[in-house]
Copies of this chain bind each other. A is one copy, B any other.
Amino acid sequence: MASSPAAPASTAAALTERGRQKADRRAAILAAAATLFAERGYAGVTIEDLGTAVGVSGPAVYRHFPGKAAVLAAILEGASRALLDGAERVLDEASEPERSLRALIAHHVDFALGDADVILVQDRELEQLDAGARHDVRLLQRRYVEHWVDVLSRLRPDRAEAELRVRAHAAFGLLNSTPHSARIPGRRPADGTIRGILEEMAWASLMS
């Protein structure tokens, strides 16, 4: 799950100059890949495209990832982990369920509006992963959903967990709608306005 050959354990960060450059390149490839995958789909992007997007060309990408699928896997695992970590951080700070739900919603909106490309790829390209990576991502997603279900079941103990799970998924669809529709032309309201609308709608739908 970590790096390959006996990584310098804890002091991994302050390595040499080359070490940081490599990390930067890797991050740049991931960022460019998210944008390109969102625009053209995983299959519509070539390894050469990924290289060109970060200023190297072609097979240099293989110095950072073992293959094209690994790039997608890194994006999806990163997204799932970021979403999950954020949710757990947010839940540590608020114990009252109403506050917790509002915080969960706000955090999800932040992510959806901030990393729209990643959300799009996450929604669309999960199936392209090999069984192992797909399973890992699904596990992270499941844990994320369960946090939502936990909070919801404290707010509405009368409702079955199965219903709350359907409601959580529906809320994700609602909150992720902007990355999907943003590609359609037409003027949209400012991000701040959209954020308010989505938070209000998500709350109302979940508590209805």
Residues of A within 8 A of B (CB): 39-44, 123-125, 127-128, 138, 141-142, 160, 162-163, 165-167, 169-178, 180-181, 183-184, 186-189, 193-194, 197-198, 200-208
Q: List 29 A-B contacts (CB under 8 A).
A: A41-B42, A41-B127, A44-B128, A123-B123, A123-B180, A138-B184, A160-B189, A162-B187, A162-B188, A162-B189, A163-B193, A166-B178, A166-B197, A167-B201, A169-B177, A169-B178, A169-B180, A170-B177, A171-B174, A172-B177, A173-B177, A174-B177, A174-B205, A200-B208, A201-B205, A201-B208, A202-B205, A204-B204, A205-B205
Closest approach, in angstroms, between the C-beta of A122 and any C-beta of chain B?
11
User: Which chain B residue shows the least CB distance to A171?
Assistant: B174
- For the complex with contacts A170-B197, A173-B174, A204-B207, 6 further pairs of A-B residues with Cβ separation under 8 Å are A43-B44, A123-B180, A163-B193, A163-B197, A170-B178, A204-B208
